[in-house]
């Protein structure tokens, strides 16, 4: 972007960036983002849940409230 003029009125050149990387090394935040690979491991120890049990039921109360003629659904 610096060489092609994508950034206007910028005093930094591409040689400045290359020199900074030689002095300070590559950006740590960039390395951390590129080096991390998270893979989800399937849990094979648990049995699948089949059907609902009594403890799985939930109740929800719903009401409509009007404020200055505008209806709001409350739960």
Span 4-63, pLDDT tens digits: 767 777 788 888 888 988 998 887 777 776 666 667 776 666 666 666 666 666 788 899
Q: How many helices (H) and strands (E) does the chain have?
A: 2, 2
Query: Residue 12 carries which DSSP code?
Result: -
Reported pTM: 0.36
């Amino acid at each position: 972007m610096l060489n092609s003029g994508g950034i206007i009125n910028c005093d930094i050149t591409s040689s400045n960036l290359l020199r900074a990387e030689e002095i300070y090394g590559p950006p740590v935040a960039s390395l951390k983002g590129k080096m991390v690979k998270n893979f989800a491991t399937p849990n094979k120890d648990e049995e699948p849940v089949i059907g609902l049990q009594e403890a799985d039921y939930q109740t929800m109360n719903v009401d409509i409230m009007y404020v200055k003629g505008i209806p709001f659904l409350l739960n």
